[in-house]
Structure 1
Amino acid sequence: MNPLAMIVNAVRRLETVMPGYFPETKHQHAKDFGWPETVRFEDAFRMYHRNSIARAGVNKTVLKTWQDFPALWETEKAGNTKAEQEILEHFRKIGLWHVLAEADRRAIVGGYAGAILRFADSKAFDQPVGIVPGGLAGLVEAVPVWRNQLKVAEWHTDQGHENYGKPKSFTFNEAAIDGTPGRAFTIHPDRVLIWSADGSVAARSDLEPGYNDLLDMEKVKGAGGEGFWKNAKSSPVIEVDKEAKIEAMAQAMGVPTDELADAMNDQVEEWQRGFDKLLMLQGMKATTLNVSLPSPEHFHAIPLLSFAASLGIPAKVLIGSQTGERASTEDSDEWDRTCHARRESIAKPRIKALADRLVRFRVLPNKDWFVGWSDLTEASPGERIDRAGKMATINQTQRDDPVFTGAEIREQAGFTGTVPDPFGDESLPPEDPDREDE
């Protein structure tokens, strides 16, 4: 080894022994704080199933986004047409919206998920879909699958192809999650709806930005539980005095000297089991080691707030009433806006892509379908009534020149139509043209 290499290796060893002494030494956050360098699907999957805060963050996002189901409309507004009703009934029959909501849940965890579409076209899964007979009845089933169960087998590499850079085929392996033997086959992209933030398989888990925070919360919770357990267990530490008579103690306990340690272990175990047990010590002193635990709330709250911020969910909405406080109106309104934005930017485009595909397969009538969904930012019925009441109160203070009309107040309260004026001409009986005044 040349002298320069020897010097470099020596400096590296010194940096390892005395980190921070050398100015050029970098702080390795992941290594020093016990965080993983990368977050794999298996890590996010385990965290979702084993960490209560992670599960709450994912589930509350999905439940709010899908608190009601969308619909396909022939125009920008619902017309309650025959075609719309037939689609509504068939999608409800096969549980399509439930499947897409579950795909959304799995995509939050894994980055992307899939919904395998089964058509009544008598073709294998690895074959492209053509014209499906039977219209709506041609879509038989949709099945949600996890990221690890659905992998790209082959890509379109021909730059002249319209699908260049997109998956050419997928492999589905049902056993990739829990190892239980299941179905495994190749599947054509026509039969798979990829659900992710951008519609591709390159999307990353929503749990990744807050993953280190989840780990820190587990450390605080686990260390606190272990510390309380050790204090409660309070195993005694036996100090043997130099004047202790080991032989006499062994004789008193009725065991040979070489079995005294085992006999004392049994005695301590019996002593810990009940309050009325005798601990025999002769020339020995029993003490306990207690762990001093600081209050864990503050150490747990910091990563909790950080994780909530990573999902864009207010902390009080995330943890519910565990703190004894309700989420404020501002928190609730912000959460409604966040989930409404998820509908507009993630859910609606994926549903529209599915509708366009079903039109191509002649499952849906050949129309430009619109995705209709309620507005999560709209006021609740109670809030609308409250606003209408405030408008009426304002009118009472301005009797000579009312600010709002009755129609405006009714509209704000959520009522439509007009009410006949009880003092208008409509309340009087029609005049008899043949009647003569007396």
Structure 2
Amino acid sequence: MGIAQRSLTMIANRARSLQAMFPGYFANAKHNHYRDFGFPETITFDQFHAMYARNGIACAAVEKTAGKTWQSFPFLMEGEEKDAESRAEGDIRQRFDDLRLWQKVKEADLRSMVGGYSGLILRLADSKKFNQPVDRVPGGLMGLVEVIPAWEGQLTVSQWDSDETSETYGQPLMFNFTEYAVDSDKGSTNQKNRSFELHPDRVIIWSRDGTVHNRSMLEPGFNDLMTLEKVIGAGGEGFWKNAKAAPVLETDKEIDLADMAKGMGVSAEDLHETMSDQVEDWQKGFDALLWLQGMQAKSLQVSLPIPEHFVAVALQSFAASFGIPLKILVGSQTGERASTEDANEWAQTCMSRREGQTIPNIMALVNRLEAFGILPERDWSLDWADLTEASMAEKFDLAMKMAEINAKLSPTGELAFLQEEIRARVGFEPLSPEEAFRGEPDDDEAAAALGLDPEPIEPDED
């Protein structure tokens, strides 16, 4: 065999050795990473819900996203211009407050992140069952009796429209609502037991696109959440085992077990069980002394690596999958600049989610209520505080800087900003001509500003 052929044979053998050592890193390798690392290949809603209910990081991501999106509640108004509250707007606001409607809608929004979708069930005063379609609901606003948020696991499609000539082809014809299917109080006397068939007219599907064909926001980072549970669980188990480690009894080669059993007053056959009971009583604190004859008690310690690095990798990966800054997720702040940038980015993310998902779902609810005659037919819109808007402290700081720039330019006779622009920056209305050009306050106005009674005017003496 020539030198070249021997070299090729050696290279081929090395390649086969490397492939055997790292089978998952080479082409055509039959390697299942999910199975090797203990990750589920398919994830059900029950697993998503259990992760949300029992994993602090998963719960924080969902709760903080919903909390930021719903930092304030919207106001349903007529048209796009924000004017004084009309009578219809006031009646709607009061009825929605009575039903706690916005709180229920927020809950549906939260549940849609755990599952692929959630539902908002409408209980109407139309004297019909839940499985019947809706025409017109009498009573106006009082026709809406209750709004019920539902998990994906509670609301499933029981019948699809398979008629290709139908306008609703491929859409659900009937849902099945089972309230106790997702219940933390299973087995208790407080278990929820509502269960019924539900017509699509009586439910709003809350999801990214308004259908049931979506995935949970926890799915991309589910493996990272499992990794966190493994690291945290292994760390806790390791520390517990170290703290509660049973002693290892090492016997001398010259020991006579028969004499030891005789000294303890037991037979040689019962010596092992007696020693185990003695060690157990000593660990539990029943015996202050561990009596050993010709033995040495040693502890078997488990060497634990520092878990912070492994936790940090999984945390960063999950935060990236959920679109939430890490400092916002875990609640730590490492500097004013970093925390401010994270807060601004987080506000923009939640504002984008609100515009692209939350508001379209709310307007679907409004349109449904309008079609049923519960809401009057109007050009409805939402007035909702902007999440990216600066705080009052930031607004006043900017207004102060604008005023300082004007002061520096005053010797030149020029102004960079008008008074109206500075007031608008902090959300104030422009001054009226009377307010803008009024002089110094007189004594009565000064007293009124201080909450004092003005001095009485004495009558002229004739």
Name the structure 2 match of 1:414.
427
Change (3 A) 1:208 1:254: same
Whole-Å separation in 2 of the counterparts to 1:314 and 1:420: 48
> Is the Cα contact below 8 Å between 1:420 and 1:426 reproduced in 2?
no
Pairs within 5 Å for 1:151-300: 151-178=156-183, 180=191, 182-274=193-285, 277-300=288-311
Aligned to 1:311: 322
Residue 17 and residue 426 in structure 1: after superposition, are their counterparts in 2 closer, same or farther (change >3 A)?
A: closer
The answer to whether the 8 A contact 2:69-2:354 is kept is: yes
Give SS of 1:63's match: helix
Instruction: Give the drift of 1:257.
Output: 2.0
Partner-residue secondary structure (3-state), 1:172: strand
8 A Cα contact 2:119 2:151, kept in partner: yes
Q: How does 1:86-105 map to 2 (within 5 A)?
A: 86-105=91-110
In the TM superposition, what is the alpha-carbon distance from 1:284 to its structure 2 partner? Answer: 2.1
Q: How has the CA–CA distance of structure 1 residues 422 and 350 changed in structure 2, closer, same or farther, with 3 Å as cutoff? A: closer
Is residue 362 from structure 1 mapped to residue 373 from structure 2 by the alignment?
A: yes
Q: Residue 48 of structure 2 aligns with which residue?
A: 44
Hey, what does 1:373 align to over in structure 2? 384
Q: How many residues align?
A: 415
TM-superposed CA distance for 1:426, in Å, is 5.8
Indicate the residue corresponding to 2:60 in structure 1. 56
Task: Provide the secondary structure at the position in 1 that maps to 2:410.
Answer: coil
Give the letter aligned to residue 334 of structure 1. Answer: E
TM-score (norm 2): 0.84
- How far apart in 2 are the matches of 1:306 and 1:313? 11
Q: 1:97 Cα deviation (Å)?
A: 0.8
Q: Are 1:329 and 2:327 matched, yes or no?
A: no
Match of 2:82 in 1: 78
Equivalent position of 1:133 in the other structure: 138
Moved more, 386-395 or 349-358: 386-395
- Work out the CA distance in 2 between the residues paired with 1:37 and 1:349: 33
Q: Distance in 1 between matches of 2:48 and 2:284?
A: 41
Cα deviation for residue 58 of structure 1 reads 0.4
| 3-state SS of 2:23 partner | coil
Cα distance in 2, alignment partners of residues 367 and 57 from structure 1:
37
Is contact 1:99-1:144 (8 Å) kept? yes
Query: TM-score normalised to the size of structure 1?
Result: 0.88
| Amino acid of the structure 2 residue aligned with 1:129 | V
Shift of 1:64: 0.8
Question: Do 1:388 and 1:413's aligned partners in 2 also have CA atoms closer than 8 Å?
Answer: yes
Query: RMSD of the alignment, in Å?
Result: 2.6
Cα distance, 1:407 vs structure 2? 2.3
**2:364 counterpart residue number:** 353
The Cα shift of 1:181 comes to: 6.5
Q: 1: distance between equivalents of 2:281 and 2:69?
A: 56
The AA in structure 2 aligned to 1:42 is: D
- Give the deviation of 1:392 after TM superposition: 2.1
* Shift in alpha-carbon separation, 1:173–1:421, aligned structure 2, 3 A: closer
What amino acid does structure 2 have at the position aligned with 1:20?
A: P
1:23, CA displacement in angstroms? 5.8
Query: AA paired with 1:228?
Result: F
State the SS of the aligned residue for 1:114. strand
Deviations 1:304-354 (A, max 9, x none): 011111111111111113x77676111001111111111111111011111
- The 1:114–1:301 alpha-carbon spacing in structure 2 relative to 1, beyond 3 Å, is same
Say if 2:281 and 2:287, in contact at 8 Å, map to a contact too: no
Gaps of 5+ in 1: 1-15, 430-438
The answer (yes or no) to whether the contact 1:103–1:114 under 8 Å persists in 2 is yes
Structure 1: which amino acid aligns with 2:31?
H
Give the Cα separation in 2 of the matches to 1:416 and 1:389.
17
The structural deviation recorded for 1:144 is 0.9
The secondary structure found in structure 1 opposite 2:64 is helix
Q: CA deviation at 1:253?
A: 2.0
Question: In percent, how many aligned pairs have the same letter?
Answer: 52
